A and B are shown apart, each in its own frame.
Chain A
Amino acid sequence: MAKLETISGKYVYIEVHGIEYRVYFEENGKGIPLICQHTAGSDGRQWRHLLNDSEITSLYRVIAPDLPYHGKSLPPESIEWWKEEYKLTKSFFIDFHVNLSRSLGLQKPVYMGCSMGGHLAPDLALERPNEFRAVIGVEASLGVTHPAELQWHHHPRIGNDFRAHAMSGMMAPHSLEKYRRETMWEYSQSGPPVFKGDLYYYFIEHNLTDSAWKIDTSCIPVYLLTGEYDPATSPEDTRKLAEQIKGSKFNEMKGLGHFGMSENFGAFKKYLMPILKEIAGS
């Protein structure tokens, strides 16, 4: 008897800004749709532990897409993408998620994302509050204020080892080495320009400094989780975001870094599960 997981993978065709993308996603479970967005320069494999968690999949239909250009979602066929610099923009990222949800026929899914995906949670709450039941921002902030040395992330003489080993220090020393290394492995596998291009949204386009206060949590609940060991978005950074969003709920995750769901899912789940139960019960 084969040892099989119950996760299934599919492709869906989604149009964003007039271009069709063939998008890979994995899913498991039944119930409220829960979309899980990966971090910059990685892919949906980061959510494999959550996708396999029966307590969560008994309440939620968990859906983890690979953003176009990431993982198994190839660049589009209809444009000469190799003649343009890859850059993830806020408008693309927002419209991608709205169109993914509509294409799959989801009824007000919960959105959860980490890092750049975490930043997107409050952006969706601000700009598309009626599309989602709630948003969960993991490692989200108003905007990143420390220097962005983006040029080193796509350089002909610097290999993908750099990305992987830079990310090593973004995880907590408490997390098991095998899962830290798996997270790094995923980071070493994106297309050469993808991490830098994603960071365009993360460092430059995402900025809620003057607008986070407009988010209405009576319309869309906002939950925020940030790891104690995240140097990119520290708990203090997220606290500033939470202070601007009246009614948002923030929790610092002790002993976790930037990649809770993949570096130490057991510890991450302790913080996530009460949120998922609260959303399911509301």
Chain B
Amino acid sequence: MTIRFLDPIEVEGTRTSINNDPEFRLAAKFFSKDILLVFGESQSIVRVRDGKVEEILLNPAPLDPWSFYVKASTESWEKFLRPQPPPFYNGLFPAMMRQTFEVGGDLESAFAHFWAVTRILDIIREIQNK
């Protein structure tokens, strides 16, 4: 499976889609954190500053800083990103509960900004299925 979010050609469009999303703009108030997204062996960092995605960094260096991470196998992401995901892959919380996705690092920030984080993931799903 090709994850469009990880395609360098898609990065700027993804960033724009997130920043133009009316719900994300509401959800991301006071949000300034770096989210490490781990897709099996692939990684990216979504840098959010003052409620806007400033940068999406593909293939970050090992010491690039991040605040919290969302991590899953490529098989789990493939299920998560389907237009109608199977049970327990339809949201970050159920995937965490069933331990197919892991959230770690600064959990307080991850949960304080959970609305914005889950909206980013929903937009990644929407882009995947365009």
Contact = CB atoms under 8 A, between A and B. Distances in A.
B41 interface: no
Contacts of B108: 155, 157-158
Contact of B85 (A146, A165, A173): A173
Contacts of A232: 97
A234 interface: yes
B112 A169 contact: no
A229 B97 contact: no
Interface string A135-177: 0000000000010000010010111011011111110111000
Q: Chain A's interface: helix, strand, loop or mixed, by majority?
A: loop
A166 B98 contact: no
Contacts of A167: 93
Contacts of B111: 152, 155, 158, 162
Q: Chain B's interface: helix, strand, loop or mixed, by majority?
A: helix
B27 interface: yes
Interface residues of B, number: 21
Contacts of B88: 229, 231, 234
Interface of A: 146, 152, 155, 157-159, 161-162, 164-170, 172-174, 228-229, 231-232, 234
Given A165-B93, A166-B93, A170-B91, 15 more contacts: A146-B99, A157-B108, A162-B112, A165-B115, A165-B118, A168-B93, A169-B118, A170-B93, A173-B84, A228-B87, A229-B88, A231-B93, A231-B94, A231-B95, A234-B88
